[in-house]
Amino acid sequence: MNDTYYEFGTAADRWDRAQMFFEAKEYLTAARILGGLVEEAPEQVAPRLLLARSFYHSARLGRAEEQLRAVLELDPVESYARLMLGRTLERQGRRAEAATQLRMAAAFDGDFGPRES
């Protein structure tokens, strides 16, 4: 893989650049930058979560799932990662697994469904 200008600089520079590419819907470029950041700091949730989102939006669902599961190993109550994992599993046709993740995401967000008055 050839290095390009956007893969150089400090981690903060690359994080900003990755976010810029993500916001511009250049998901593969964002993923390329984020992959390096995740390798450097695998314990950080934010770059890994944005990497998963980049994979999700570029229809690399297996890679998105892998990153989301890694996020959940680091932070099991990360509700957005649970929600994204549920959506990723749905897109893969794995509805039963998806439903479990979506219920957990809702519970972590305090959404327990309709309440009776």
For a pLDDT cut of 90, what percent of the chain falls above it?
Answer: 84
Contact, 7 vs 34, CB < 8 A?
no
Per-residue pLDDT band for 112 (boundaries 50, 70, 90) equals low
Can you give the pLDDT at residue 113? 58
Q: Is 96 exposed, middle or buried (0-12, 13-18, 19+ CB in 10 A)?
A: exposed
Can you give the pLDDT at residue 9? 87
pTM for the full predicted model = 0.87
Question: Is 83 a residue whose pLDDT tops 70?
Answer: yes
